[in-house]
Chains A and B, each alone.
Chain A
């Protein structure tokens, strides 16, 4: 894990090599987070992967999050790992909600990390984030005819209401 100074150095170098790609840094509880511009995610990841003294060559995880009351609303997180130094770098891209039922879009990084194929499909399935240039962007876990993006915060949890003692007064005489 790069320390706070190391993270600033990485951000500085990345900002020089890929202009306009760094939107901020964050070092919190030992996790180094590099916030990148969503339009330059692939360029930033390519630089982090291919630069010899960075060499974050392994994408350990790609996941999403929904910070609903906040704006920008969606976060796409890339967990990069350098296997030689055992250093992890967290790269985050924040996406605005386009509105009008449109889906937020981001460039796909499958050409850099083939493992991103299924993980980007899962993000599309759960959060409705469309990855431009993905070879086969379909739902991966939910049925293909499913409607809605279930891990979004404004999506109902679903299922059926369960009768507990704390809510049984809402259905009087339920036992009949």
Chain B
């Protein structure tokens, strides 16, 4: 959704608008004058688009680093790169409070179930960025210990290439993700990736309250 600011006029325009607003409140404004005033001062949108706009500008990542890419990921919140400009500066220490999982580094076979558990603990809607060559394709560590591509066990929304990607690249990936969040209707990841019917059924291994 694009927000276009109205043409900023001078102090006279402001005075005119102020008088119009007073007329409107008094009920004196009617006809074309009323229409022109409403067009100038009211922004219309759908609830869904407004919600998606709000979500896209508050993408809180989970505090979760895997390898060397995590150093670059940490630096995006520093003063030099400042991802707070895009609302993605609050690294939440709990997956329950995070919207976005950044896979920053190589994903080993041993770590994959843990990552999947963290992803499952996050609340909908949630998004995943695969940062760097390793989490997308195992990169230079293409060997017996790694999962070649985190999208084998997670739905990944944005792949950021690089080894490691510079912080600018990661911020670019976050901006791409923002456009994705804004452009798509409010869907859970199962709908987005056609994974309905893959819910785990049966009793949980540890009953609630145990």
Report which A residues bind B (CB closer than 8 A).
141-143, 146, 148, 150, 155-160, 162
**Contact across chains for B109 and A157 when beta carbons are under 8 A apart:** no
Q: Which residue of A lies closest to B144 (CB)?
A: A158
- Is A143 in contact with B109, judged by CB distance below 8 angstroms? yes
9 extra A-B contacts, CB within 8 A, seeds A142-B109, A158-B143: A146-B109, A157-B142, A157-B143, A158-B142, A158-B145, A159-B138, A159-B141, A159-B148, A160-B148
Contact indicator B145/A150 (Cβ below 8 Å): yes
Is B26 close to A, CB under 8 A?
no
Q: List, in ascending order, chain B residues with CB within 8 A of A146's CB.
A: 109
Q: Which residue in A142, A148, A155, A160 is a CB contact (below 8 Å) of B142?
A: A160
Q: Which residue of B lies closest to A150 (CB)?
A: B144
Q: Is B7 an interface residue (CB 8 A)?
A: no
Q: Which residues of A contact B143 (CB under 8 A)?
A: 150, 157-159
Pair B144/A157 contact, Cβ less than 8 Å: yes
Is B146 an interface residue when CB atoms closer than 8 A count as contact? yes
Q: Report the Cα distance A157→B141, complex, angstroms.
A: 10
Q: Within B138-178, which residues are at the interface with A (CB < 8 Å)? A: 138, 141-146, 148
Shortest distance from the beta carbon of A3 to any chain B beta carbon, whole Å: 40
Judged by a CB distance under 8 angstroms, whether B117 is at the interface is no
Any A CB within 8 A of the CB of B208:
no
Residue of A nearest to B148 (CB): A160
Contact B142 A159 (CB under 8 A): yes
Give Cα distance in the complex from A156 to B145, angstroms. Answer: 11
**In the bound complex, what is the Cα–Cα distance between A91 and B148 (angstroms)?**
38
Nearest CB of chain A from residue B148's CB, rounded to whole Å:
5
Q: Which residues of B contact A148 (CB under 8 A)?
A: 144
A150–B137 Cα distance when bound, in Å, is 20
A selection of 9 A-B contacts at a CB cut-off of 8 Å is A142-B109, A142-B110, A142-B145, A148-B144, A156-B144, A158-B144, A158-B145, A159-B146, A162-B142
- Report the Cα distance A159→B141, complex, angstroms: 8
* A160 / chain B contacts, CB cutoff of 8 Å: 137-138, 142, 148
A155–B143 CA distance with the chains assembled, in angstroms: 11
Nearest neighbor of A158 in chain B, beta-carbon distance = B144
Distance in Å: Cβ of B145 to nearest Cβ of chain A: 7
From residue 94 to 117 of chain B, which have CB atoms closer than 8 A to chain A? 109-110
Q: Chain B's nearest CB lies how many Å from the CB of A173?
A: 21
Q: How far is the CB of A1 from chain B (nearest CB, A)?
A: 34
Q: Looking at the complex, which one of B110, B137, B148 makes contact with A143 (CB distance below 8 Å)? A: B110
Q: Which residues of A contact B137 (CB under 8 A)?
A: 160
Give the complex CA separation of A150 and B143 in angstroms: 10
Please measure, in the bound complex, the distance between the C-alpha atom of A158 and the C-alpha atom of B145, giving whole angstroms: 8
Complex: A157 Cα to B145 Cα, angstroms: 9
A162–B133 alpha-carbon span in the complex (Å): 13
- State A157–B143 Cα separation when bound (angstroms): 5
Give Cα A156–Cα B143 distance, bound, in whole angstroms.
9
When chains A and B are docked, how far (Å) is the Cα of A172 from the Cα of B144?
26
Q: Which of A156, A157, A162 has the most CB of B within 10 A?
A: A162
CB proximity of A37 to chain B, nearest CB, Å:
33
Q: Which residues of B contact A156 (CB under 8 A)?
A: 144
Chain A residues, CB < 8 A from B142 = 157-160, 162
Task: Report how far A141 CA is from B146 CA in the complex, Å.
Answer: 12
Q: Which 4 A-B pairs rank lowest in CB-CB distance, beginning with the nearest?
A: A158-B144, A159-B142, A160-B148, A150-B144
